[in-house]
Structure 1
């Protein structure tokens, strides 16, 4: 059966993509942020996952406010990118994994989740920035990717507990897939930030680090919070924690935190990165 070998959390800030394009990784502003990625890339190079299941949120490239599914899964052989106006260069296509995608969809529907199925969809910076951070110089083309979008823009949004349960169901689907392939799960976005309105610029390092701690020790403690609670503590975009919870839900049982980094602010956002490994064989 397929095996989940680990989970990675990372930001998707457009400014990070611009920094990579302009080779600013070693500048004082970005140095501490980028320092965590070489050891994560080394781990990926050693473990050689076949597939990346990538939880992200679409910021309007394909799913704007007039059509916003709660959960959407890519079931395409390839995913294109496009210029969103953030200054990030479009990247080469991302290769899909249709067999596992459809297996996940069928498993979810049999277990009371009803995702939107996307057989033709572009992916935005929410997906492409994490991919280029973890597999630079377009080396992500050597891995198959399943993009899974969670609504973090339009209310009503899925509760944190629902996103976690969604991840649990996807993890179960992966583990019962009749394949020997290795899967890494990516939770993107976050942490505390708000991009507009009277509270623009809010950051909450204490709450961010508490959430990162609990992802390791007891993720279900985070589920006590509603989306309103998250917004009050960490700003409007703190709801992107949904992707982190979905990632953690995929990994069954206890985890070991192999790597961790937290930098705040980067472009008005708190940036957390974790590499989590399952303790269960």
Structure 2
């Protein structure tokens, strides 16, 4: 599978040159370009299925789960450059404390409030539910900002 900046940039920031990554990577492509994009419930369930699969392994694995994509942003059109900090902060709070709330949030709300590229956040929901049960706080989060 050929991967794009959504995978290569964060892992390169973490581990350096792509050819020298010290980990095995299993990319998971989530459609956020062409409608219909997956529902919040489907993303939530996918994250839980990933966690269940990892937990079922006999060996003790060190698994990293990365949800990539940007929070509020729009790259083109009259709203190019859009940043909605209030939306971003609420999303992050819900992601940690109440991810089930995000399941009910319609895609059009992501786009209206935070820009056309914000639908990428469904990948964060997958990663969140893959890490731990609702009510448990994920162990680590490292937001990366672009200059």
The alignment's TM-score, normalised by the length of structure 2, stands at 0.88
1:173 CA drift (Å): 0.9
1:221 CA drift (Å): 1.4
- Aligned partner of 1:226 among 106, 116, 126: 106
Structure number with larger C-alpha Rg: 1
* Counterpart for residue 137 of structure 2: 255
Say which SS state the counterpart of residue 25 (structure 2) adopts: strand
Query: Which runs of 5 or more residues in structure 1 are unaligned?
Result: 1-120, 268-281
Residue 261 to residue 129, structure 1, CA distance change in 2 (3 Å): closer
CA contact (8 A) 1:185 1:250 kept: yes
Alpha-carbon distance between aligned partners in 1 of 2:26 and 2:66, rounded to the nearest angstrom: 10
Query: Which runs of 5 or more residues in structure 2 are unaligned?
Result: none
* Counterpart for residue 186 of structure 1: 66
Q: If each structure's strand is expressed as a fraction of its own residues, which one has the higher value?
A: 1
Whether 1:148 aligns to 2:22 is: no
Alpha-carbon distance between aligned partners in 2 of 1:140 and 1:214, rounded to the nearest angstrom: 35
CA contact (8 A) 1:216 1:257 kept: no
Alpha-carbon distance between aligned partners in 2 of 1:255 and 1:261, rounded to the nearest angstrom: 16
Residue 259 to residue 178, structure 1, CA distance change in 2 (3 Å): closer
Alpha-carbon distance between aligned partners in 2 of 1:173 and 1:149, rounded to the nearest angstrom: 17
Residue 158 to residue 176, structure 1, CA distance change in 2 (3 Å): same
Alpha-carbon distance between aligned partners in 2 of 1:156 and 1:148, rounded to the nearest angstrom: 17
1:246 CA drift (Å): 0.5
* Counterpart for residue 176 of structure 1: 56
Q: If each structure's helix is expressed as a fraction of its own residues, which one has the higher value?
A: 2
1:255 CA drift (Å): 1.3
